[in-house]
Amino acid sequence: MSTISRDDVAHLARLSRLAVTDEELDRFAGQLEQVLAAVARVGEAAVADVPPMSHAVPLTNVLRPDVVTPSLPRDAVLAGAPAAEDDRFRVPRILQEEE
Amino acid sequence: MTTPSTELTTVDVAELSRLLAAGEVSAVEVTRAHLDRIAAEDDQLGAYLHVEHDSALAAATAVDEARSSGAALGPLAGVPVALKDLVVTEGVPTTSGSKILQGWRPPYSATIATRLADAGTVMLGKTNMDEFAMGSSTENSAYQVSRNPWDLSRIPGGSSGGSSAAVAGHLAPWAIGTDTGGSIRQPAAVTGLVGHKPTYGSVSRYGLIAFSSSLDQAGPMARTVLDAALMHEVIGGHDPRDSTSIEQPLTGLAAAARAGAAGDLRGVRVGVVRELGGDGHTDGYDPGVLARTREAVEVLAGLGAEVVEVSCPSFDLALPAYYLIAPSEASSNLARYEGVRFGLRVGDDGDHDLDEVMALTREQGFGPEVKRRIILGTYALSSGYYEAYYGQAQKVRTLITREFTAAFADVDVLVSPTMPTVAFPLGARVDDPIAMYAADLCTLPASLAGLPAISVPSGLSEGLPVGLQIMAPALADDRCYRVAAALEAAQDATRGHRLLDELPALAGAS
């Protein structure tokens, strides 16, 4: 059975760009341990020669004709953004001051 | 006008359509009747997150004016509809039940919303749901609890619980739901409605806020099988904007429902799935649910269907496979909520850099179930675990699909209970994810294989509705409608009325 520690949850949360509280770390570690124990049963299936199935329908790459078509109005798209400036999305600071 | 407004909220869509076309009621009267009932009753049910009062009346007025000017209108013009709050609608608040999208007004509309509007239907508003459709009870909504009109202390199912509460509680004649692991069928089952998950790819996903892209599918929730088929015909069909959309015409669904209602199932072979509530597989199932399922199968046999038992051993692994695949896809899909392009932003005070703003935004914007699934999905996709979890789950998906194919070589449809239990009390499973996930036991196999499946009422247990699930091969959605309509007609004839007519009056209902 797989185990998942409090540190594992913290690491996964960092990978997921999720800040988590100490209380959440404790709670999620316990719950994910339970969930992983339950889903580990997929390992019981004899599937050595079975291909994986990612999708219920065959996927093909769909391309549209390479012609210019109208896109969403810029103002309408920026209206939903938390911050915009000079007709662009405004992004929080990326580099530290010393960088 | 002879029809009292209270009746306008209980009549089926097929009849409503006839009344509107005959000029016996106006679209404004129908819309106002529903808006009035929402105003009077939704504080008890919590079905809606947003009501489009003024624009609904304006749309209804436009239908009435077009009709009086002699314009050619479709048969559904003037019929109100409710949309689950993950259907993107231009200019109308759309949150997917999440704080992270609070206040967002999309700049475009989903294909299914456009098709419903083009058919002349009138959007009443957006219905409550589990956050990003993750849940089986609608208790994971960031905004409010929705309640089951049959018993206000119980869940209306999930994740389309706002839609089920609205339709069963007569706050909308029908509604759009979405189904990833059973989220149309389960809420329909526990509120006495019909809910159909179409064949994957047969209804456009363009403009539906994604949870698990290989599984998500929108579909109808209605009070009758025919109503569900009528909506399915409006929203279905190829959409070039959805790369997974199947290029096949969608016809004959309403005709199949009407044919089924005639009650002749001779020549139809029905397979009862042993692994879904059959001998040796009854753990977690309510005895009343199993009894109603047996009775429904007997009704189908009485209508001429040939009934056989079918074994699909890999169905026992559908639940663990689903709870690896869906969170994995969710962890990827929900990466787009980073506090830059839309929705919430937290911590942008000059003291935090982009990574920190993202993490703080997602911490505050997502609820516990969403966070749990993102972390689980990240784990299942991570190096060293990918093959053991995600890869293995994808192979189980192949096994399940093969077993469906083998079963459908012998039978026309497969049946099972829709949900192992009746609606459970609010709060009963909210801190126990394993117990909550067990609600999905019967609906997951068809989801993983992308097959059509319908839930149709099969009676009451403990005074609460039970649903029968009917599954069919890909693109044979018409079989679901035919068999479901036959069961519905036979049971309605036996009891002398629709099951939903036994709905207790809401406290304070007019």
Q: What is the pLDDT of residues B427-465, one digit of tens each?
A: 999 989 999 999 999 999 999 999 999 999 999 999 999
**Considering CB atoms only, which of B320, B375, B398 is closest to A41?**
B320
Local structure of residue B203 (DSSP, 8 states): B
Chain A residues touching B108 at Cβ < 8 A: 72
pLDDT over 80 (residue B22)? yes
For residue A97, give how far its alpha carbon lies from the nearest alpha carbon of chain B (Å). Answer: 10
In a domain, A86, yes or no: no
Alpha-carbon span B329 to A93, nearest angstrom: 29
Can you tell me whether residue A37 is helix, strand or coil? helix
**For residues A31-40, average pLDDT:** 93
Inter-residue contact B324 to B390 (CB < 8 Å)? yes
**For residues B403-421, average pLDDT:** 98
Catalytic residues of B: 84, 159, 183
In a domain, A85, yes or no: no
Chain A residues touching B451 at Cβ < 8 A: 56
Residue B154's Cβ-side half-sphere holds a number of Cα atoms within 13 Å equal to: 18
Residue B398 to residue A76, Cβ atoms within 8 A: no
For residue A67, give how far its alpha carbon lies from the nearest alpha carbon of chain B (Å). Answer: 15
Residue A39 to residue B345, Cβ atoms within 8 A: no
Q: Which residue has the tokens 């938390």?
A: A82
Residues 46-75 of A with CB under 8 A from B: 47, 50-57, 59-62, 64, 72-73
Q: What does the pLDDT read at residue B249?
A: 83
In a domain, B510, yes or no: no
Inter-residue contact B469 to B454 (CB < 8 Å)? yes
Inter-residue contact B470 to B481 (CB < 8 Å)? no
Inter-residue contact B245 to B35 (CB < 8 Å)? no
In a domain, A31, yes or no: yes
Alpha-carbon span B104 to B343, nearest angstrom: 6
In a domain, B61, yes or no: yes
Q: What does the pLDDT read at residue B510?
A: 42
Residue-wise DSSP of B221-232? EESSHHHHHHHH
Measured at the alpha carbon of residue B273, what is the angle toward residues B268 and B279, in degrees to the nearest 5? Answer: 130
CATH number of the domain that A17 lies in? 1.10.20.60
Alpha-carbon span B297 to B271, nearest angstrom: 10
In a domain, A95, yes or no: no
Can you tell me whether residue B454 is helix, strand or coil? strand
In a domain, B425, yes or no: yes
Chain B residues touching A92 at Cβ < 8 A: 339, 345, 347-348, 352-354, 357
In a domain, B462, yes or no: yes
In a domain, B379, yes or no: no
For residue range B379-391, list pLDDT tens digits in order: 999 989 999 999 9
Tell me if the bond preceding B159 is cis, omega within 30° of 0.
yes
Banded pLDDT at A76 (limits 50, 70, 90):
very high
**Stated pTM of the model:** 0.97
In a domain, A28, yes or no: yes
Q: What does the pLDDT read at residue B4?
A: 63
Banded pLDDT at A3 (limits 50, 70, 90):
confident
Q: What does the pLDDT read at residue B2?
A: 47
In a domain, B381, yes or no: no
Q: Which residue has the tokens 């050619």?
A: B72
Alpha-carbon span B505 to B510, nearest angstrom: 9
Kindly give, in sequence order, each residue whose CB lies less than 8 Å from that of residue A25, ignoring residues fewer than 6 positions away.
Answer: A6, A9, A10, A13
Question: What is the count of structural domains for chain A?
Answer: 1
pLDDT over 70 (residue A97)? no
For residue range A36-59, list pLDDT tens digits in order: 999 999 999 988 899 999 998 888
Inter-residue contact B333 to B96 (CB < 8 Å)? no
In a domain, B333, yes or no: no
Inter-residue contact B288 to B423 (CB < 8 Å)? no
Q: What does the pLDDT read at residue B223?
A: 98
Inter-residue contact B113 to B83 (CB < 8 Å)? yes
Domain, as residue range, for A12:
1-45
Q: What does the pLDDT read at residue A98?
A: 67
Inter-residue contact A54 to B448 (CB < 8 Å)? no
Question: What is the count of structural domains for chain B?
Answer: 1
In 3D, which of B251, B229, B178 has the Cα closest to residue B13?
B229
Inter-residue contact B184 to B195 (CB < 8 Å)? yes
Residue-wise DSSP of B129-188? -SGGG--SSSTT-SS----BTTBTTB---SSSHHHHHHHHTTSSSEEEEEESSSTTHHHH
For residue range B62-107, list pLDDT tens digits in order: 999 999 999 999 999 999 999 999 999 999 999 999 999 999 999 9
Continuous H helices in B25-110:
27-45, 53-68
Nearest CA in chain B to A56: B450
pLDDT over 90 (residue B509)? no
In a domain, B493, yes or no: yes
Domain, as residue range, for B76:
5-314+403-502
Q: What does the pLDDT read at residue B248?
A: 87
Q: CA B435: distance to chain centroid?
A: 21
pLDDT over 60 (residue B1)? no
Residue A15 to residue B317, Cβ atoms within 8 A: no
Strand (E) positions, B378-462?
413-417, 453-461
Average predicted confidence (pLDDT) for chain B: 96
Give the tokens for residue B288. 């009343």
Residue A42 to residue B214, Cβ atoms within 8 A: no
Q: What does the pLDDT read at residue B255?
A: 98
Give the count of Cβ contacts less than 8 A between chain A and B: 186
